[in-house]
Structure 1
């Protein structure tokens, strides 16, 4: 779980900035509804990515071979959950659907970009040195 904690902090900080920007852009383009729907979409994306990372890290504590199945399961569950939430938003608050969806996409892009930058800068050993050397 320690490995996961490394990129969560910068990703959540970037998501917070993205949510702030989404609130302003949503407010300008869609009024009050957009001002809360767009940052809510960013939050949904951030929580989805953080949940996936935590689930994969949890699976790794049992066996490294469980990480791929867990990643695929969490991806499927996350995708179904996002589609369900978008359907609920469309039914309950149709004016909020577009800003919310843009927030989800924007949050995903910001999260992934931040994670890529973190991984590029991280000092991650890519070989295991033999302890006998």
Structure 2
């Protein structure tokens, strides 16, 4: 899994660029609340994806069969956190809700696109080359 986690650095780099773009777009469209809401949404998406990677990698160290249940658990947890964050932003600073939500979507798209490009270019064998005996 260490090799398969090589996409984290490029994904975080693209998420950082997306956060800067989101801050500018948020400032232009919604002023001050948009300037912090949009990049906060990007950060939430990036941290959610990175947390999932770490949780699945930890589960894989215990037993490979735990990776799917852990991925499903982290997905459900991320949804709860995202909905709670959206509710919190809506109840405290309603003007930042739309930029925050757009930041989450933009961050997810940026992360997934970067990960897809990395996976397409990666040299990952389909079989285990070093079988322990």
TM range (shorter): over 0.9
Aligned mates of 2:4, 2:123 — CA distance in 1 = 14
> Does the 8 Å contact 1:4/1:53 carry over to 2?
no
Aligned mates of 1:4, 1:123 — CA distance in 2 = 10
Aligned to 1:64: 64
**Runs of 4+ off more than 3 Å:** 128-131
Aligned mates of 1:130, 1:36 — CA distance in 2 = 48
Q: Deviations along 1:81-117, whole A, 9 cap, x unmatched?
A: 1001100110011001000000000000000000000
Aligned to 1:9: 9
| Aligned ranges 1:109-128 → 2 under 5 Å | 109-128=109-128
Q: Which sections of structure 2, spanning at least 5 residues, go unmatched?
A: none
Q: Deviations along 1:27-48, whole A, 9 cap, x unmatched?
A: 1000111111100000000000
Aligned to 1:21: 21
Distance 1:130 1:9, change over 3 A: closer
Q: Considering only aligned residues, what root-mean-square deviation do their CA atoms show, in Å?
A: 1.3
Aligned residues: 131
Q: Which sections of structure 1, spanning at least 5 residues, go unmatched?
A: none
Cα shift at 1:3: 3.0
What TM-score, normalized by structure 2, do the two folds share?
0.94
Aligned to 1:31: 31
What TM-score, normalized by structure 1, do the two folds share?
0.94
Aligned mates of 1:39, 1:62 — CA distance in 2 = 35
Aligned mates of 1:88, 1:124 — CA distance in 2 = 41
Aligned mates of 1:129, 1:45 — CA distance in 2 = 34
